[in-house]
């Protein structure tokens, strides 16, 4: 299910953009410490509804691994149906991490995820097991395999000031301001890319350094072996799988889940509110529109979401692609991954 926040194409990304000053961290803070690439882990990615969970379980069992969720929405407690979290039985088969970390009314940043992941990988390695990341959040994946220097947290007051200024002077004036302080970032960003222009100005305001200088390491591919595998289906088959997944989740109680979250937590966090599926159902509950139209809208937006995921994954030269067709079981795909990794049949 498409359960992650919207994200744009990869060229103008900021690995610190999702930071927030009021986050509850899963580990002790490290300030702006550099997190080096985690190249020795296993990574299984792919668009929504591509079968990552089943394949990840098979792979982890064969390599004596523990799974770390690579899903920006699975960290939220209570967001279960719409994020297609692994079931209790699946979590008993293989230990899972980074699931149900914070309540859905709290922010959880990229920096927190990377920090916690480094800690968990160390713990898994100490147990002489294999850290196996499984999920579909491309920015998380890129930050892990490329390394990242976390930027400053989001300054929501500054962003509100800029939004108010935009209403008076327009986006072109804002882009011109960015050209003065960070011409490289301004050249990369589309003049109408409001969110990233604001973030670039925000970083410069907080650090005195252009955001483009901080992204050099993030944009380069480190040397060395990296086991990143991406599941891929023919377009029509992926759309069929997405439609079936959406139908399944509505049948499993997605509407009731969103209603319960609203009753228990009121306003969800800024990140959680962006989850495809949840936001459409929230609008449905508020406006009392036809449910079938809501279902159709979720299917359409999930297909769009999957297309953006694939665009991101293609930008990672570390990715090794598995072209899947009908008839392959998760066990078959796990075997193929091991062969591609030079491990041979297990």
DSSP result, 282-323: HHHHHH---HHHHHHHHHHHHHHHHHHHHHHHHT-TTEEEEE
- Does residue 13 lie in a domain region? no
Torsion sign (Cα): 212, 213, 215, 216: positive
Residue finishing a domain among 190, 218, 246: 218
Helix or strand run (H / E) with residue 229: strand 227-232
10 Å Cβ neighbour count for 90?
15
Q: What is the dihedral of CA 13, 16, 20, 26, to 10 degrees?
A: 130
Domain count, the chain: 2
In a domain, 203, yes or no: yes
Asked if residue 188 lies in contact with residue 215, where contact means CB atoms within 8 angstroms, the answer is: no
Alpha helix ranges (H) inside the chain: 52-63, 88-93, 110-126, 138-146, 156-169, 171-181, 183-188, 194-207, 211-214, 216-219, 235-251, 254-265, 270-273, 278-287, 291-314, 330-340
What per-residue confidence (pLDDT) applies to 221?
A: 54
Task: Give the residues of the chain that fall short of pLDDT 50.
Answer: 1-2, 4-32, 346
- Residue 252 has a pLDDT of 97
pLDDT of residue 167: 87
What pLDDT score was predicted for residue 2? 46
Residue 341 gets the label, from left (phi > 0), alpha (psi -120 to 50) or beta, of alpha
Burial profile 138-147: b = 16 or more Cβ within 10 angstroms, e = fewer:
bbbbbbbbbb
The answer to whether residue 12 sits within a structural domain is: no
d(CA 149, CA 152): 10
Handedness of CA 63, 68, 72, 73 (dihedral sign): positive
CA 134 to chain centroid, in Å, comes to 11
The verdict on 178 and 243 lying in the same domain is no
Domain closes at, from 172, 188, 218: 218
Same domain as 321, residue 232: yes
Q: Is 11 inside a domain boundary? A: no
Domain that holds residue 82: 19-147+226-340
How far is the C-alpha of 240 from the C-alpha of 39, rounded, in Å? Answer: 34
> For residue 296, is it within any domain?
yes
- Domain CATH for 178: 1.10.20.140
Listed residues 191, 218, 245: the one ending a domain: 218
On whether both 75 and 98 belong to a single domain, the answer is: yes
Write phi, then psi, for 68 (nearest 5 degrees).
-110, 120
CA dist 116 and 25 (Å) reads 8
Tens digit of each residue's pLDDT (9 = 90 or more) over 206-252: 888 888 776 555 555 555 568 999 999 999 999 999 999 999 999 99
With a threshold of 0.85, does the pTM exceed it? Answer: no
Strand-pairing partners, residue 231, are 322
Report CA Rg, the chain: 20
The answer to whether position 230 is within a domain reads yes
Q: Check whether residue 260 and residue 328 sit in a common domain.
A: yes
Over residues 301-343, the pLDDT tens digits come to 999 999 999 999 998 989 999 999 888 999 999 999 999 998 8
- Strand, helix or coil at 73? coil
* 88 torsion bin: left (phi>0), alpha (psi -120 to 50), beta (else): alpha
Is residue 1 situated within a structural domain? no
């Amino acid at each position: 299910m498409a359960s992650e926040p919207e994200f744009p194409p990869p060229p103008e990304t900021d690995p610190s953009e999702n930071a927030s000053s009021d986050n509850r961290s899963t580990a002790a803070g490290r300030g702006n410490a550099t997190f080096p690439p985690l190249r020795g882990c296993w990574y299984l990615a792919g668009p929504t509804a591509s079968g990552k969970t089943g394949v990840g379980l098979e792979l982890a069992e064969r390599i004596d691994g523990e799974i770390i969720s690579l899903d920006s929405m699975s960290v939220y407690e209570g967001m279960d149906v719409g994020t297609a979290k692994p079931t209790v039985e699946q979590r008993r088969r293989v230990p899972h991490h980074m699931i149900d970390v914070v309540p859905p009314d709290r922010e959880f940043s990229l920096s927190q995820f990377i920090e916690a992941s480094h800690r968990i990988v160390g713990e898994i390695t100490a147990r002489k097991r294999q850290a196996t990341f499984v999920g579909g959040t491309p920015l998380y994946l890129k930050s892990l395999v490329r390394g990242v220097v976390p930027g400053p947290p989001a300054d929501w007051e500054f962003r509100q000031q800029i939004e108010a200024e935009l209403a008076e002077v327009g986006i072109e004036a804002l882009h011109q301001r960015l050209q003065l302080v960070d011409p490289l970032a301004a050249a990369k960003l589309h003049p109408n890319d409001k969110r990233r222009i604001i973030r670039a100005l925000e970083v410069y305001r907080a650090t005195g350094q252009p955001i483009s200088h901080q992204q050099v390491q993030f944009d380069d591919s480190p040397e060395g072996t990296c086991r990143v595998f991406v599941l891929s289906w023919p377009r029509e088959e992926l759309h069929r799988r997405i439609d079936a997944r959406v139908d399944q989740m509505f049948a499993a109680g997605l509407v009731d889940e969103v209603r319960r979250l609203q009753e228990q937590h009121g306003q969800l966090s800024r990140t959680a509110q962006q989850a495809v599926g949840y936001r459409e159902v929230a609008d449905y509950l508020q406006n009392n529109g036809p449910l079938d139209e809501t279902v159709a809208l979720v299917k359409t937006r999930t297909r769009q979401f999957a297309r953006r995921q694939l665009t991101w994954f293609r930008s990672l030269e570390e990715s090794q692609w598995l072209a899947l067709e009908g008839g392959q079981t998760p066990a078959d795909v796990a075997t193929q991954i091991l062969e591609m990794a030079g491990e041979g049949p297990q």
